Amino acid sequence: MRLKVICCQVLTLEMNYVVSRSPHSIEAENLPMGLHDLGASMRPQLQERIDAADQGGYDAILLGYALCGRGTEGLRAGKTQLVFPRAHDCIGLLMGNRHDYQAYFDTHPGVYFRSPGWIEFQTPGKVLEPALATERNKIGERRSREELIAQYGEDNGNYLFEQFGAYRRRYSGLTYISTGVEPDDACRRLARAEAEKQGWGFEEIQGSLTLLERLVNGTWDAADFLVVPPGATVRGTLGESIVEAE
Amino acid sequence: MSQSKELYEAILTGNAKQAHAATQAAIDAGIAPMDLISGSMVPAMDEVGRLFEEEEYFVPELLLAGRAMKSAMELLRPLMVASGEKMSARVVIGTVKGDLHDIGKNIVASMLEGSGFEVIDLGADVSPEKFVFAVEQRKPEFVCLSALLTVTMPAMKTTIDALESAGLRTKVKVLIGGAPVTMEYAKEIGADGYSENANGAVGLVRKLLAGA
């Protein structure tokens, strides 16, 4: 098959690995990570890439995305079918099984997840440029203390910085998801160092490439993948299947 | 006059110190707490909400307005308790189990407080059992649930189920909110209401209280 992959940057390392081993002819593109922070602006950015790929005569457009806080809800297939793995987010994708993810999440509250992509591509101080000026303000929580003080004064600036950072202080552990894809060792060390710096516990779990592998190999069993036929759109269900087409 | 222009301005501009000072001045001038709340705080909050809808105010401005309201309530609450004045309703609020996000929930809590409601904030990662316990102990009229992740949204249903099992479901109105939450989901899990933002949440509580 001739396949197009549109993939979140955070999955680049894992996706490159499985694409290189796929028997199909695949063209892959990455979009910057963190689009889920843009809320409603995420979908149009993805839809634009899907629409562009729709002209390429591919047998399918594969999405290296999950429900992503509903950021992928409403995506529409043009004349090319879309294929989605069933997962809430990239962490679930890298665990390879949404049931395992839910079980782990339920028994490990207060955990901050890291994967090789989350470490490799996280540039300190990098700010995503949103599509609209108003969206820029909605992601105010990414601003530095200095920027907030400059805009709101010292008292309010400090208050806002504390508020936006508060949830991070409630994390008690960091879980590193290893998928064996390089540079796994280096990323593991950095993850461990981050945990120590924050005073968090550190745990490593084995991820799985099974969802990404089956995505690019074309084995799209209905239990784990959603195939969106031409003209249909993606809908989030919050149920067992996570996403459906309508 | 039961209004304080200074307090209104302080909330609108997110100036907690000025809100505190203006409230003290109003108290010293003999203005009753509920009059100050309905005359100055609620209108200020309504205006903040309107500016948010117009996309002139954003989350930081809401947080700062909430902070200003909190500092006013610090002075007003003890007076109301001492005079036996009953708040119009009691609200238990929290972010559901497994979810640590609380900024939206905090904004809703401070706006409800600024409207004169008694707010019991259980924090984040609140188990269904903890919600049930709070309802048993404090007998609120409303329970507000917040979640920011689709992975933790199912905890909203388990919390409602837990209230049901404890025989408390019919005693409260359950409202839900959070970025990935929708009206459809609220209907699906049998919640009594949903709002897209903090301003809407306050409006919904007032509407339900009025028996609509």
> What pLDDT score does B1 carry?
46
Does the beta carbon of B106 lie under 8 angstroms from any beta carbon of chain A? Answer: yes
Sort strands A234-236 and A243-245 into parallel, antiparallel or unpaired. antiparallel
Mean pLDDT on A48-58: 97
> Residues B100, B34: one domain?
no
Distance from CA of A138 to the nearest CA of B (A): 6
> Residues B19, B71: one domain?
yes
Does the beta carbon of B200 lie under 8 angstroms from any beta carbon of chain A? Answer: no
> Residues B76, B94: one domain?
no
> Residues B103, B175: one domain?
yes
Range in A233-237, B83-87, B207-211 the model is least confident about: B83-87
- Domain, as residue range, for B148: 90-209
Does the beta carbon of B183 lie under 8 angstroms from any beta carbon of chain A? Answer: no
pLDDT tens track for B171-198 = 999 999 999 999 999 999 999 999 998 9
CA angle at residue A132 from A129 to A134, to 5 degrees? 105
Q: Is A201 helix (H, G, I), strand (E, B) or coil?
A: strand
How much is the mean pLDDT over chain A? 89
Mark yes or no for CB contact B64/A138 under 8 Å.
no
Inform me whether the pLDDT recorded for B141 exceeds 70.
yes
Inform me whether the pLDDT recorded for A138 exceeds 60.
no
pLDDT band at B212 (very low <50, low <70, confident <90, very high): low
pLDDT band at A108 (very low <50, low <70, confident <90, very high): confident
Q: Is the peptide bond between A183 and the residue preceding it cis, with omega within 30 degrees of 0?
A: yes
Query: How many domains are there within chain B?
Result: 2
Range in A29-33, A181-185, A234-238, B30-34 the model is least confident about: A181-185
Return the residue of B nearest to A153 by Cα.
B15
Separation between Cα atoms, residue B38 and residue B114, nearest integer Å: 9
Q: Which of B32, B56, B82 is the last residue of a domain?
A: B82
Token code pair at residue A79: 């004349």
> What pLDDT score does B81 carry?
86
Inform me whether the pLDDT recorded for A131 exceeds 50.
no
> Residues B94, B183: one domain?
yes
Does the beta carbon of A99 lie under 8 angstroms from any beta carbon of chain B? Answer: no
Residues of chain A with C-beta less than 8 angstroms from the C-beta of B151: 88-89, 92, 101-102, 105
pLDDT-above-70 percentage for chain B = 99
pLDDT tens track for A76-99 = 999 999 999 999 999 999 999 999
> Residues B95, B20: one domain?
no
> Residues B139, B53: one domain?
no
- Nearest-CA neighbor of B144 among B183, B63, B90, B187? B90
Range in A53-57, A197-201, B15-19 the model is least confident about: A197-201
> What pLDDT score does A136 carry?
47
- What are residue A139's phi and psi, to 5 degrees? -100, 35
pLDDT band at A178 (very low <50, low <70, confident <90, very high): very high
Does the beta carbon of A134 lie under 8 angstroms from any beta carbon of chain B? Answer: yes
Q: Which of B37, B60, B82 is the last residue of a domain?
A: B82
What are the DSSP calls for chain B, one per residue?
----HHHHHHHHTT-HHHHHHHHHHHHHTT--HHHHIIIIIHHHHHHHHHHHHTTSS-HHHHHHHHHHHHHHHHHHHHHHHHTTPPPS-EEEEEEBTT----HHHHHHHHHHHHTT-EEEE--SSB-HHHHHHHHHHH--SEEEEE---TTTTHHHHHHHHHHHHTT-GGGSEEEEE-TT--HHHHHHTT-SEE-SSHHHHHHHHHHHHTT-
CATH number at residue B199: 3.40.50.280
Inform me whether the pLDDT recorded for A139 exceeds 60.
no
Top residue of A134, A156, A175 to mutate, by most chain B CBs within 10 Å, is: A156
Helix (H) / strand (E) element for A92: namely helix A90-95
Size of interface A-B (CB pairs under 8 A): 82
> Residues B182, B95: one domain?
yes
CATH number at residue B35: 1.10.1240.10
- Domain, as residue range, for A157: 2-245
Residues of chain A with C-beta less than 8 angstroms from the C-beta of B127: none
Does the beta carbon of B51 lie under 8 angstroms from any beta carbon of chain A? Answer: no
CB A147 within 8 A of CB A164: no
pLDDT-above-90 percentage for chain A = 67
> Residues B128, B45: one domain?
no
Range in A18-32, A206-220, B81-95 the model is least confident about: B81-95
Mark yes or no for CB contact B150/A88 under 8 Å.
yes
pLDDT band at B159 (very low <50, low <70, confident <90, very high): very high
Separation between Cα atoms, residue A222 and residue A211, nearest integer Å: 12
Q: Which of B42, B62, B82 is the last residue of a domain?
A: B82
Distances (CA, A) of A55 to A48, A58, A60, B36: 12, 8, 11, 62
Mark yes or no for CB contact A140/B60 under 8 Å.
yes
> Residues B165, B68: one domain?
no
Distance from CA of B154 to the nearest CA of A (A): 8
Separation between Cα atoms, residue A134 and residue B179, nearest integer Å: 17
Query: How many domains are there within chain A?
Result: 1
Q: Return the DSSP state at A125.
A: T
Mark yes or no for CB contact B179/A39 under 8 Å.
yes
> Residues B155, B177: one domain?
yes
Distance of CA A56 to the CA centre of its chain: 25
User: Angle of helix A145-152 relative to helix B59-82, nearest 10 degrees?
Assistant: 70
Range in A16-25, A179-188, A213-222 the model is least confident about: A179-188
> Residues B104, B39: one domain?
no
Instruction: Indicate the residue of A92, A164, A170 with minimum beta-carbon distance to B124.
Output: A170
Does the beta carbon of B83 lie under 8 angstroms from any beta carbon of chain A? Answer: no
Better-predicted residue by pLDDT, A166 or A113: A113
